[in-house]
């Protein structure tokens, strides 16, 4: 009643600002001791050739009998794969081999681009995998013997010798160029089994865990598509932008919502994926406003300042950054550069293709939408 | 005096209690037209003056002293103070619907006293000049670049312009009194805006629009009286007042709370943000207009009196810097009131109904707004009666009842039926006199 002659004090106003320019950054994600580890290679039509290798090292403390590893002992590796996650051809099996690692490594500080040295000779084991969730292979006898020398060593020296001289194994696709898929090992359920004498029915297999693990990612060719930006979960490519100039005009405004929107180039992704192939796509992005002493650690493990799930209806990623905008304008927040990255903390790999600030269609360019209320 | 005071408290207390327990929303909202400018002008007359439809320019109650004409202070014999309460209900209708608001308000506080009985007197008062008490509710949908936002907004206005006035009146001759009353004028009003939405990203928002300002006013008064004009013991009073314009230097700000993050101890940081730039915000002037009035009150005898008074307020062209649209709606206001009062208690009859005084009046007001080509006029019918103190006490308890019609439903405007009940306690005593002993 009376609204034809009086108006309420608050009216909505929407300001759409273009995000940009976007600065390309490079971080190095930690890929050791995660829930899963990637192995295999695949040449994605959009994201290029991706080679991954999984490093594993068994524990040395399994209780396998008073005599330890003997010349009749056999060791099997039971690998549990993520049955759903795969990047590549789902119909053709991929051939893998397991080799000895030639350099010392540790899982905790391992980053995706650290180098693993190995020779593609004398594989410890070989297998193929299509979509099976469990693959068990027998390790070569000479490797079992090597493991036995460390296991049977004097108790006082066993741990230190094992840590310093036993480099573990690497699981790789037989041929990176022809490998059809990248698979993901579920490390928690992957384990070794040692049988003292397989010919003795009284000898039961004894299970022992994986002590350390990591994986590497090599990107052979990094595409640079026009008017688009690529983001990878390894954070070798991610983008940032600063809103200081754009936000200055709002220092006398009641901001009720501030939203950053990125638009996925779904058409290019769908049109450049062969039939029966699947791609690991980013389910969520996050922003980081400022970093601590170790940006690589923060970008891998730190909780982002804002999370954007991929919206299926319009293939967008929307960040609610209202609190940060208000903190910048009215609080004590000095950091204004927003870093955008893919959320992937379990070890799965994913990438996304987004429209850039110079996309031909203005409607698809990333935006900062400020919603204010006032008279 | 003591018995009268107790009786008055017993009558006043329930009304005050009603004011306290009334529904908070409904008891805080008045006329929709108080939305415009600094609010609707408030009558500064006493309850007794309002009960006969006049403004206090030429008429003054027996025991109550108003502030409309400071020249009356020069006639002070009694020390008097007045406190009161009003309950007003607004039934509003327009083409879209109807709404009911009610307002419970203390009335002005007045104290007047003689400095030299019948020759020089003074007074101090605190009273409201304008009142901005409105409630607006709107619903809508806002469309930006994302999903539409369904919202509702509830605006509630409060406050207005008040005056702290000091008056002095003195006798020039037996028939002529003049008065002057400077005042400190202060503005304090708030619009609380509550926005509700189910949009999770936006959420509910509460913001305040606060307007504060101050200025100084000057009021002049003249009172001329003549006795034995037509026949013996009659009296005629002529009063005139002049109120100079007041420029209130003001500032309007918008305040709201914002979540600014989490501190190092994990606590939410919420701060009150004040912005003073933007449409309708910042510094500006609000003007009270030039006002002048005149009136006649005639006492043919001591049982009855008749009054007619008129007043002009030059709202047209007054500044309201915070909204050019609202400023353009202001126009000059003219009021005319006529009324009569009957005092049967002076016959010293023992009949119950003869122990009171009675009043009746009509008041026409052109209003200070022109909206959609229409004047927002008000016609008020008033009546009231007064309860006198026993014996030689001159204290009174005055009650008035008013029914008014404001506005029109034409041109998408709002028509209001206004029901008002007012009560004032007027305590008068002859103080500061020297007893003479033989």
How does pLDDT run across B170-189, given as a tens digit for each residue?
Answer: 999 999 999 999 999 999 99
Band the pLDDT of B194: cuts 50, 70, 90.
Answer: very high
Strands A306-311 and A316-320: antiparallel
Q: Report CA-CA distances (Å) from A18 to A23, A248, B272.
A: 14, 14, 29
Q: For B1-51, give the DSSP string.
A: -HHHHHHHHHHHHHHHHHHHHS-TTTTB---GGGGSTT-EE---S-HHHHH
Of B256, B260, B281, the CB nearest to A323: B260
Is residue B179 within 8 A of residue B166, CB to CB? The reply is no
pLDDT of residue B2: 54
Percent of chain B having pLDDT more than 70? 90
pLDDT above 70 (res B15): no
Report the b/e string of A178-214 with b at 16+ CB within 10 A.
ebbbbbbbbbeebbbbbbbeeeeeebebbebebbbbb
Residues of A in contact with B278 (CB under 8 A): 252-253, 374-375
pLDDT of residue B437: 52
Q: Where are the alpha helices (DSSP H) in B135-282?
A: none
pLDDT above 80 (res A203): yes
Is residue B82 within 8 A of residue B426, CB to CB? The reply is yes
Of A8, A373, A375, the CB nearest to B279: A375
Say yes or no for a CB contact (<8 Å) between B201 and A2: no
Of A330, A331, A369, the CB nearest to B144: A369
Distance of CA A320 to the CA centre of its chain: 24
Of A1, A8, A330, the CB nearest to B414: A1
Q: Name which residue leads in pLDDT, B436 or B19.
A: B436
pLDDT of residue B429: 81
Arithmetic mean of pLDDT over chain B: 88
pLDDT above 80 (res B145): no
Say yes or no for a CB contact (<8 Å) between A254 and B205: yes
Closest-approach residue (CA) in chain B for A369: B145
Percent of chain B having pLDDT more than 90? 60
Say yes or no for a CB contact (<8 Å) between B96 and A1: yes
Of B97, B277, B372, the CB nearest to A1: B97
Of B145, B205, B260, the CB nearest to A369: B145
Say yes or no for a CB contact (<8 Å) between A331 and B261: yes
Band the pLDDT of A251: cuts 50, 70, 90.
Answer: very high
Say yes or no for a CB contact (<8 Å) between B254 and A254: yes
Distance of CA B329 to the CA centre of its chain: 21
pLDDT above 50 (res B438): no
Percent of chain A having pLDDT more than 90? 63
CB count in 10 Å sphere of residue A68: 17
Over residues B268-272, mean pLDDT: 93
CB count in 10 Å sphere of residue A101: 19
Q: Which two tokens stand for residue A131?
A: 């979509």
Closest-approach residue (CA) in chain B for A11: B142
Residue in B31, B193, B371, B415 to test binding to A, most A beta-carbons within 10 Å: B193
Lowest-pLDDT choice from A8-22, A41-55, A71-85, A262-276: A8-22
CA distance B375 to chain A (A): 13
Band the pLDDT of B16: cuts 50, 70, 90.
Answer: very low
pLDDT of residue B297: 96
Residue in B150, B153, B252, B325 to test binding to A, most A beta-carbons within 10 Å: B153
Over residues A156-177, mean pLDDT: 87
Say yes or no for a CB contact (<8 Å) between A331 and B145: no
Over residues A260-288, mean pLDDT: 94
Lowest-pLDDT choice from A31-40, A62-71, B353-362: A62-71
Is residue B375 within 8 A of residue B404, CB to CB? The reply is no
How does pLDDT run across B37-54, given as a tens digit for each residue?
Answer: 999 999 888 899 999 999
Say yes or no for a CB contact (<8 Å) between A5 and B412: yes
Closest-approach residue (CA) in chain A for B374: A5
pLDDT of residue B257: 94
Is residue A272 within 8 A of residue A77, CB to CB? The reply is no
Say yes or no for a CB contact (<8 Å) between B155 and A323: no
Over residues B88-112, mean pLDDT: 87
DSSP E strands: which ranges in B264-395? 268-275, 282-288, 291-299, 304-313, 333-342, 356-365, 370-371, 374-375, 378-388
Residue in B138, B150, B211, B375 to test binding to A, most A beta-carbons within 10 Å: B138
Report the 3 state secondary structure along chain A.
CCCCCCCCCCEEEEEEEECCCCEEECCCCECECCCEEEEEEEEECCCEEEEEEEEEEECCCCCCCCCCCCCCCEEEEEEEEEEEEEEEECCCCEEEEEEEECCCCCCCCCECCCCCCECCCCCCEEEEECCCCEEEEECCHHHHHHHHHHHCCCHHHHHHHHHHHCCCEEEEECCCCCCCEEEEEEHHHCEEEEECCCCCCCCCCEEECEEEEEEEEEECCCCCCCCEEEEECCCCCEEEEECHHHHHHHCCCEEEEEEEEEEECHHHHHHCCCCCEECCECCEEEEEECCCCCHHHHHHHCCCCEEEEEECCCCEEEEECHHHHHHHHHCCCCCCEEEEEECCCCCCCCEEEEECCCCCCHHHCCEEEEEEEEC
Band the pLDDT of B143: cuts 50, 70, 90.
Answer: confident
Is residue A17 within 8 A of residue A367, CB to CB? The reply is yes
- CB pairs below 8 Å between A and B: how many? 129
pLDDT of residue B356: 86
Lowest-pLDDT choice from A347-361, B11-25, B134-148, B216-230: B11-25
pTM, two decimal places: 0.83
pLDDT above 50 (res B107): yes
* Helices A141-151, A155-165: inter-axial angle, 10-degree rounding: 130
Q: What ipTM goes with this model? A: 0.80
Of B195, B201, B258, the CB nearest to A373: B195
Closest-approach residue (CA) in chain A for B323: A375
**B251 CB burial (10 A radius; 0-12, 13-18, 19+):** middle
How does pLDDT run across A365-375, given as a tens digit for each residue?
Answer: 999 999 999 88
Say yes or no for a CB contact (<8 Å) between B191 and A9: yes
């Amino acid at each position: 009643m009376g609204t034809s002659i009086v108006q309420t004090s608050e009216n909505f106003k929407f300001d759409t600002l273009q995000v940009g320019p976007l600065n390309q950054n490079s971080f190095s994600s930690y890929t050791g001791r995660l829930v899963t580890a990637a192995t295999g290679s695949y040449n994605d039509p959009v994201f290029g050739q991706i080679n991954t290798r999984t490093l594993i090292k068994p524990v040395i403390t399994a209780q396998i009998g008073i005599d330890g590893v003997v010349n009749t002992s056999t060791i099997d590796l039971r690998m549990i794969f993520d049955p759903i996650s795969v990047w590549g051809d789902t119909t053709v099996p991929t051939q893998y081999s397991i080799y000895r690692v030639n350099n010392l490594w540790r899982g905790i500080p391992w980053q995706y681009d650290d180098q693993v040295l190995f020779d593609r000779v004398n594989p410890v084991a070989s297998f193929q995998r299509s979509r099976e969730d469990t693959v068990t292979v027998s390790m070569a006898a000479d490797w079992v013997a090597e493991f036995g020398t460390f296991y049977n060593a004097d108790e006082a020296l066993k741990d230190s010798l094992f840590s310093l001289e036993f480099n573990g194994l690497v699981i790789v696709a037989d041929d990176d160029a022809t490998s059809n898929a990248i698979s993901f090992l579920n490390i928690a359920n992957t384990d070794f089994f040692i049988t003292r004498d397989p010919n003795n029915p009284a000898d039961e297999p004894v299970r022992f865990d994986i002590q350390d693990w990591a994986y590497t990612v090599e990107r052979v060719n990094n595409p640079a598509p026009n008017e688009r930006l690529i983001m990878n979960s390894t954070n070798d490519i991610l983008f940032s932008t600063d809103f200081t100039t754009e936000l200055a005009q709002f220092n006398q405004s009641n901001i009720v919502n501030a939203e950053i929107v990125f638009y996925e180039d779904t058409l290019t992704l769908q049109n450049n994926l062969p039939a029966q192939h699947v791609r690991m796509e980013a389910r969520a992005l996050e922003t980081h406003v400022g970093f601590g002493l170790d940006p690589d650690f923060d970008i891998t493990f730190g909780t982002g300042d804002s999370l954007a799930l991929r919206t299926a209806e319009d293939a967008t990623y929307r960040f609610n950054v209202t609190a940060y905008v208000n903190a910048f304008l009215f609080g004590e927040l000095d950091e204004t550069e927003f870093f955008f990255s893919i959320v992937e903390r379990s070890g799965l790999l994913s990438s996304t293709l987004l429209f850039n600030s110079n996309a031909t269609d203005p409607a698809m360019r990333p935006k900062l939408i400020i919603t204010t209320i006032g008279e | 005096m003591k018995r009268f005071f107790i009786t008055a408290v017993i009558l006043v207390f329930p009304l005050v209690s009603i004011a306290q327990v009334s529904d908070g929303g409904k008891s805080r909202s008045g006329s929709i037209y108080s939305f415009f400018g600094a609010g609707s002008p408030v009558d500064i007359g006493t309850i007794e003056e309002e009960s006969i439809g006049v403004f206090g320019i030429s008429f003054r109650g027996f025991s109550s002293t108003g502030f409309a004409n400071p020249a009356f202070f020069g006639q002070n014999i009694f020390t008097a103070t007045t406190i009161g309460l009003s309950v007003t209900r607004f039934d509003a209708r327009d083409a879209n619907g109807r709404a009911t608001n009610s307002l419970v308000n203390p009335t002005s506080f007045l104290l007047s006293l003689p400095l030299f009985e019948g020759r020089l007197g003074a007074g101090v008062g605190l009273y409201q000049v304008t009142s901005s008490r409105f409630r607006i509710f709107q619903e809508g949908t806002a469309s930006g670049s994302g999903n539409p936002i369904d919202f509702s907004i509830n605006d509630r206005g409060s406050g207005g312009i008040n005056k702290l006035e000091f008056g002095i009146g003195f006798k020039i001759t037996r028939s002529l009194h003049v008065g002057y009353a400077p005042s400190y004028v202060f503005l304090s009003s708030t619009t609380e805006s509550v926005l509700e939405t189910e949009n999770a990203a936006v959420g509910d928002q509460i913001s305040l629009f606060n307007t504060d300002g101050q200025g100084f006013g000057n009021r002049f008064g003249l009172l001329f009286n003549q006795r034995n004009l037509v026949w013996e013991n009659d009296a005629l009073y002529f009063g005139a007042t002049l109120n100079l314009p007041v420029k209130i230097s003001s500032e309007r700000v918008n305040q709201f709370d914002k979540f600014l993050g989490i501190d190092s101890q994990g606590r939410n940081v919420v701060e009150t943000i004040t912005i003073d730039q933007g449409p309708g915000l910042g510094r500006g002037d609000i003007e009270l207009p030039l006002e002048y009035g005149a009136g006649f009150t005639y006492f043919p005898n001591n049982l009855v009196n008749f009054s007619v008074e008129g007043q002009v307020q030059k709202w047209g062209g007054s500044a309201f810097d915070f909204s050019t649209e609202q400023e353009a709606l202001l126009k000059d206001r003219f009021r005319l009131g006529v009324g009569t009062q009957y005092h049967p208690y002076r016959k010293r009859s023992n009949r119950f109904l003869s122990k009171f005084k009675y009043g009746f009046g009509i008041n026409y007001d052109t209003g200070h707004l022109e909206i959609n080509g229409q004047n927002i006029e008000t016609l008020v019918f008033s009546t009231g009666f007064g309860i006198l103190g026993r014996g030689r006490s001159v204290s009174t308890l005055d009650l008035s009842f008013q029914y008014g019609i404001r506005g029109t439903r034409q041109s998408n405007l709002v028509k209001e039926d206004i029901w008002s009940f007012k009560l004032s306690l007027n305590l008068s005593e002859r103080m500061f006199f020297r007893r003479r002993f033989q």
